[in-house]
């Protein structure tokens, strides 16, 4: 049963024991961020956090870490909460095949209940804003689904983009925004600024859990995130028309902010502690003027802590980074078995593949680096054989330790593109990239002594099932 809004998902999390209500009074800083940071330091299965007793506020409702464990990610997809990660990625991949699923338009959006316009806009009065990390330049909206259209093709539904970008609150009605040049909104902004025009924008906060996953997913320029959300939900995504921009926005959002990115203007932004585990900032970035805010009565403010991994963002963008890469690679190389690109949004990827002939695995790695997401992210690729599970890091380390002869299996490619946020890039945006081929060489690449591998015994699979059954019986 898919969720049409954040509230219904929070209800399920609570029923499943995956939402913790903090009822004691807390300080907005540093408590809210420190608590969310701590969910990544207490082991598996961390819950979402709910705060409504925050010092100085009379009416705050804050949800943090909503996607911040494999249990919560599974529940977001409507899977049992103990579903293993690899199975979540496989199910994600299976549902992808239903793309595109047309959305369902509804006009009774609950965010129509309340409105602020023009000079009356005051984000602080709608949302209990707060700081995440010490060095952050201010308070951020970091879990929004941001909607924009191609100014040269505004009626193209697929080119309408839904993405997540960091947004710094720099005034009651002003935001600074980071459109990374490799992302779709930067293409929209460039086209508008070349004409000297503002770019209309709609920022939606507090969305159903699949919408948030899709907004953070690397998709093709003309592929619709709403049609992907429908595929992943197994039901059409409910959308509504935003009143000022006319853009398509999620029906179930808590808050819909509309305005424009002001043309050809830049203002100091950041820093902000990023998904790379490092701050980035001290740059002049585009500025949004907010002209209208629509919001549900008693809005829930959903935010996300990010910093040194792992944090919620790593769960949120883990599977949604793996699956597009898997699909794009398999389209040309059906030998590819699985892709684990969950490390720093895919700065490192582990790919399991069969080999067509000697040298094939390295070609798969180079193809991964030239996918749309790979161009901006994939810096290190580890290749493993088809019988190695790339999500099982001890197995991956076994492959690297036993199969790699560095002189023939490690390639360094100089001066390639990467997101400017990548901390090791030099200069920003340029990096060397590395392929570590930990697959078994095959003809005519006849190197090493791999002719007698010790495989699992044929009977092991049955015994594993038998032991698990006996253990379950013994534990009652």
Residues lying near another protein in the complex (CB under 8 A) are found at 27-30, 55-59, 122, 124-125, 129-131, 134-135, 137-139, 168-172, 176, 178-179, 181, 186, 189-190, 193-196, 264, 266-269, 271, 279, 282-286, 420
- 32 alpha-carbon distance from chain centroid: 21
**Residue 469 CB-density burial (10 A; 0-12 exposed, 13-18 middle, 19+ buried):** exposed
Report whether 258 contacts 291 (CB < 8 A).
yes
The answer for residues whose C-beta is within 8 angstroms of residue 261's C-beta and 6 or more apart is: 177, 189, 192, 198, 199, 201, 286, 287, 288
Closest Cα to residue 434, out of 412, 456, 418? Answer: 412
Q: At closest approach, how far in Å is the CB of 348 from another protein? A: 24
Of 57 and 157, nearer to another protein (C-beta) is 57
298/225 Cα distance (integer angstroms): 27
Distances 302 to 62, 305, 441, 459, 475 between C-alpha atoms, Å: 6, 10, 49, 49, 39
Nearest approach, Cβ of residue 271 and another protein (Å): 7
Is the Cα torsion angle 363, 365, 371, 372 positive or negative in sign? negative
Distance, CA of 262 to CA of 199 (rounded, Å): 7
The least CB distance from residue 186 to another protein, in Å, is 5
Residue nearer to another protein on the CB measure, 61 or 73: 61
Joined together, the tokens standing for residue 473 give 């019986």
Q: 10 Å Cβ neighbour count for 154?
A: 14
Q: How far is the CB of 366 from another protein (least distance, A)?
A: 27
**Smallest distance, Å, CB 196 to another protein?**
6
Q: How far is the CB of 100 from another protein (least distance, A)?
A: 29
Nearest CB to another protein, comparing residues 140 and 391:
140
Q: List residues bridging with 433 in a β-sheet.
A: 413
Report the C-alpha gap between 413 and 400 in whole angstroms: 19
Closer to another protein by Cβ: residue 372 or 429 = 429
The span from the CA of 46 to the CA of 26, in Å, is 20
DSSP string, 428-445: TTEEEEEEEEESPP-TT-
Catalytic residue among 225, 227, 258, 274: 274
- The conformation of residue 309, written as its DSSP 8-state character, comes to S
| DSSP helix/strand/coil, 394 | helix
Nearest distance from C-beta of residue 51 to another protein, angstroms: 15
Q: Is 274 a catalytic residue?
A: yes
Q: How far is the CB of 286 from another protein (least distance, A)?
A: 8
Choice between 125 and 415, CB closer to another protein: 125
Which of 130/391 has CB closer to another protein? 130
Per DSSP, 144 falls in state -
Which tokens belong to 9?
């998902």
- Cβ nearer to another protein, comparing 193 with 198: 193
Nearer to another protein, 234 or 277 (CB): 277
Catalytic machinery residues: 274
């Amino acid at each position: 049963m898919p969720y049409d809004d954040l509230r219904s998902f929070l209800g399920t999390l609570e029923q499943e024991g995956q939402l913790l209500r903090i009822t004691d009074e807390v300080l907005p800083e540093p408590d809210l961020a420190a608590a969310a940071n701590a969910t990544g330091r207490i082991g598996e299965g961390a819950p979402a956090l709910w705060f409504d007793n925050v010092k100085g506020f009379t009416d705050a409702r804050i949800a943090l870490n909503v996607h911040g464990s494999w249990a919560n990610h599974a529940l977001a997809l409507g899977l049992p909460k103990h579903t293993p990660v690899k199975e979540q990625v496989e199910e994600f991949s299976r549902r992808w095949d239903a793309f595109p699923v047309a959305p369902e338009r509804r006009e009774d959006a609950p965010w129509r209940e309340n409105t602020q316009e023009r000079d009356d806009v005051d984000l602080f009065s709608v949302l209990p804003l707060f700081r995440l990390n010490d060095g952050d330049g201010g308070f951020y909206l970091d879990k929004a689904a941001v909607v924009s259209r191609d100014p040269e093709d505004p009626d193209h539904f697929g080119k309408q983009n839904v993405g997540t970008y960091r947004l710094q609150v720099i005034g009651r009605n002003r935001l600074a925004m980071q459109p990374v040049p490799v992302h779709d909104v930067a293409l929209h902004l460039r086209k508008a600024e070349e004409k000297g025009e503002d770019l209309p924008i709609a920022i939606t906060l507090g969305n159903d859990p699949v919408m948030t996953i899709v907004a953070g997913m690397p998709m093709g320029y003309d592929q619709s995130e709403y049609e992907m959300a429908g595929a992943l939900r197994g039901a059409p995504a409910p959308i509504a028309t935003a009143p000022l921009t006319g853009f398509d926005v999620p029906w179930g959002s808590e808050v819909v902010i509309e305005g424009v990115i002001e043309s050809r203007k830049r203002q100091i932004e950041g820093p902000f502690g990023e998904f790379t585990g490092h701050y980035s900032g001290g740059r002049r970035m585009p500025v949004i003027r907010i002209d209208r805010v629509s919001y549900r009565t008693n809005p829930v403010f959903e935010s996300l802590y990010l910093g040194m991994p792992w944090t919620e963002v790593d769960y949120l963008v883990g599977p949604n980074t793996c699956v597009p890469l898997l699909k794009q690679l398999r389209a040309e190389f059906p030998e590819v078995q699985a892709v684990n690109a969950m490390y720093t949004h895919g700065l490192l990827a582990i790919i399991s593949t069969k080999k067509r002939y000697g040298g094939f695995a390295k070609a798969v790695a180079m193809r991964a680096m030239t996918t749309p997401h790979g161009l901006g992210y994939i810096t290190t690729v580890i290749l493993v054989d088809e019988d190695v599970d790339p999500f099982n890091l001890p197995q991956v380390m076994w492959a690297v330790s036993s199969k790699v002869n560095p002189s023939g299996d490690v390639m360094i490619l100089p001066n390639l593109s990467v997101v400017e946020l990548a901390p090791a890039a030099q200069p920003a945006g340029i990096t060397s990239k590395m392929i570590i081929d930990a697959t078994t060489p095959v003809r005519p690449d006849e190197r090493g002594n791999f002719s007698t591998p010790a495989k699992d015994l044929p009977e092991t699979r049955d015994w594993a099932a038998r032991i698990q059954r006996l253990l379950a019986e013994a534990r009652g």
